[in-house]
Amino acid sequence: MQRRLVLATFAAAALAACGENKPQFNAIDLTGADYAKDFSLPDTDGKVRSLSDFRGKVPVVFFGYTQCPDVCPTTLAEIAQAKQILGADGAKVQGIFITVDPERDTPQVLKAYMANFGPDFIALRGTPEQIATLAKDFKVYYKKVEGKRPGTYTMDHSAASFVYDTQGRLRLYTRYGSGPQALAGDLKQLLAQA
């Protein structure tokens, strides 16, 4: 009986030790997910970018559009704030904005918009077909919604960010409004694993 108790105690301790190594993220852990593996789109200078360009950094990818009244600027500001919270390690975080409105979001518009969040944030823009294909791969929803006046519209879209580790592997899905502290905590853990 005592031997069984000792074995059970060792087994419980071994299981607890295994669980201690797994990071506890604030965001949804997508480690091992079989989608959102990469992108290949031009930045505002026309240079085609992909995840491999950011090896050694933790990319945070967000789909949106520059005329978004709330979700997009709030999310990008939270990424910028999380970078500040991390101090010097914030330089190892790469904010990446992918427009779902290439019709209005020209390279010039995107460049000016991204300057609001930090000099190292980048924006990517593709053709409508490229964006549709990429959104499908990322399981991102977006739809053009006609406005009240002719020729005006808004874009409905998913409101979450995809976070990758320093090796370019998808790790986290961060919901809108999680806050910069929660994001910074997750980014810190990913940087510590590098």
Q: Is 61 within 8 Å of 161 (Cβ atoms)?
A: yes
What is the C-alpha separation between 160 and 140, in angstroms, rounded? 9
Closest by Cα among 104, 114, 121 to 67: 104
18 is in an annotated binding site: no
Burial class (CB in 10 A: 0-12, 13-18, 19+), 82: buried
CB atoms within 10 A of CB 61: 22
Closest by Cα among 92, 98, 95, 97 to 55: 92
Q: Is 81 within 8 Å of 118 (Cβ atoms)?
A: no
Q: Which residues contact 57 (CB under 8 A, 6 or more apart)?
A: 92, 93, 94, 166
Closest by Cα among 18, 17, 47, 67 to 125: 47
Binding site feature residues for Cu cation: 68, 72, 157
Q: Which residues are annotated as a binding site?
A: 68, 72, 157
